[in-house]
Structures are given as C-alpha cells and as structure tokens.
Amino acid sequence: MPPKKATDQLQTTCATCALTQFCLPMGLTERELKDLEALVKHRRIFSRGEILHQPGDFFQNFYAIRAGAVKSVTINTAGNEQVFGFYLPGEVIGFEAISTQKYPHSIIALTETSICELPFTHLMQMSKTHSGLQHQLLALASQRLTIDTCIHFTDTQQRVIAFLLNVSARLNRSAGLKRIFDLPMSRHDIGNHLGLAMETISRIIHHLKRQGLLAVHHRSIELLKIPALKALATGNK
C-alpha cells in the first residue's frame, strides 16, 4: 500500500493511515492509538522548498512524514549547504532535538510533503501511561541511528549503490526493496550528502545503467539486478 499524494492525506487518521505500522503507531494497542490520534495537533502540507523549521528553533513538535520527503541541512558560515540526511514517509523528525531542546538543522521539503505535527511534551506525558508508546519512541530513535550507513562506506561506488538501496528500502518499509521508485532529492543533494560531486553521482549511476544493473530516467529508478547491486554495495567487486 503506497503512501498517497500529499494532498490526499489531510483527513486520514492514524488508524486509517497506510503508514500506521511503521510510524509512531507501530505496536500500539487500539486504545493507545486512539489517544495518540487525539494528540496530533496539525496535519499540514508543505510545498517544495518550504522550510519546516530552522536550526536553533525551540523544539516543540515531532513531525511525522506522511507523504513526500524532506532534507535535513545546515548552512555553514561560508554559505555552503551541508545535507545531513533525508526523511521519507513514516519517518519521524525531532529525535535529534530532544537533548538540547533545539532543532539542530533546517528541515526543507523536497517535494509536496504532508506531515503530522505531534507536541513532544504531550507525547512524553502520554508515554508515562502507554508503555507501548514509550518503547516505540525509543525504537524510532534507535532506527534513526542506523538508518543511514551509506556515508560510512569508503569506496565511492559502494556509497552510491548503498544510498540507492537504502532509499529503495525506506520507501518500501514493509518488505525488502522497492524495485521501481522516484528519488525525491536532486543529484546535487545526494552528492552533498555522500561527500561527492554531483557529476560523480551522475557518472556512477550512468555506469550502473550501462552495466544493466538498473534503469534510470532522471529521478525515476528501476533496480534490475538487485543481488548484483547488493553484492557491489557490500564490497564484492
């Protein structure tokens, strides 16, 4: 069940949302789910380029991505952007802000993006009585710690393939990799995030295409030989 378009999502409840088994509701009892639902403050749509929050903004809400995608960035003093990561449907923004009470990054919508806003203090209050929620909050923070292993690969091609497989898996949370998908972010953003030039991303993807490992048309990707791609990503050249 793929997430619907951003604009279709405004009336959905947690119980009827396609992402209910991956997002915050996961593992919650029916009762807990109903209470969580009551706690959702806003459902909002951001259009491409809009900023959800800036670094230093006081941390008040989690944002659960319902449809679309955002990037997490900072701008350094020299004016250069630094892409820290991406958030895809079902993923929750805010964990990195808990300890300092301030968001550390800018969150910018990459496409039309629909989100659910959840007040943190209410969530914490609720999780005192709802132990399923308490566990799920930690589990989501945990997931976030291991979600993005691509940056750690030394080999450039490995990094790019691992990134593509990572996005594919995250877009298809239920079962394995999504074979056909659209990258929500630009080559520039991918490059920045992986510490590579945009042109290098382009060339590596082209190379994989020529080898018949995937089909590409701009941001649309089809993984053709998943086992081979996996093998390359884990370092078996």
Partner DNA sequence: TAAAAACATTGATCTAGATCAAGTTAAGCT
Partner DNA sequence: AGCTTAACTTGATCTAGATCAATGTTTTTA
**Chain position carrying tokens 């490059």:** 191
Query: Interface mask (CB under 8 A) for a second copy, residues 77-106, using x and -?
Result: xx-x-xxx----------xxxxxx---x--
Is there binding between residue 155 and DNA (CB under 7 A)? yes
User: Of 13, 60, 134, 186, which one interacts with DNA (CB under 7 A)?
Assistant: 186
HSE (side-chain half, CA atoms, 13 Å) at 140: 23
Contacted by 13, from DNA, a second copy, none: CB < 5 to 8 Å by type:
none
Q: Which is nearer to a second copy, 66 or 130 (CB)?
A: 130
User: Of 106, 111, 114, 127, which one interacts with a second copy (CB under 8 A)?
Assistant: 127
Report in angstroms how near the CB of residue 55 gets to DNA at its nearest.
Answer: 21
**Chain position carrying tokens 């968001």:** 103
Strand 92-93 and strand 214-217: the pairing is: unpaired
Indicate if the alpha-carbon torsion angle 172, 173, 174, 175 is positive or negative. Answer: positive
Task: Give how far Cα 25 sits from Cα of 6, 29, 30, 70, 194, Å.
Answer: 19, 9, 9, 21, 31
Is there binding between residue 10 and a second copy (CB under 8 A)? no
**Could you say which DSSP state residue 9 is in?**
G
Helix axes 30-39, 120-129, angle to 10 degrees: 160
Q: Which is nearer to a second copy, 1 or 78 (CB)?
A: 78
Is there binding between residue 62 and a second copy (CB under 8 A)? no
Is there binding between residue 217 and DNA (CB under 7 A)? yes
Query: Interface mask (CB under 7 A) for DNA, residues 1-40, using x and -?
Result: ----------------------------------------
Report how far Cα 2 is from the mean position of its chain's Cα atoms: 15
Is there binding between residue 21 and a second copy (CB under 8 A)? no
**Could you say which DSSP state residue 102 is in?**
B
What does the alpha-carbon distance between residue 92 and residue 118 come to, in Å, rounded to a whole number? 10
User: Of 144, 173, 188, 225, which one interacts with a second copy (CB under 8 A)?
Assistant: 144
What residues have CB less than 8 Å from 106, skipping those under 6 apart?
51, 53, 54, 55, 72, 73, 74, 75
Is there binding between residue 235 and a second copy (CB under 8 A)? yes
**Contact positions toward a second copy, by CB under 8 A?**
76-78, 80, 82-84, 95-100, 104, 124, 127-128, 131, 134-135, 137-146, 149, 151-154, 192, 195, 234-237
**Contact positions toward DNA, by CB under 7 A?**
48, 155-157, 186-188, 195-203, 205-206, 216-219
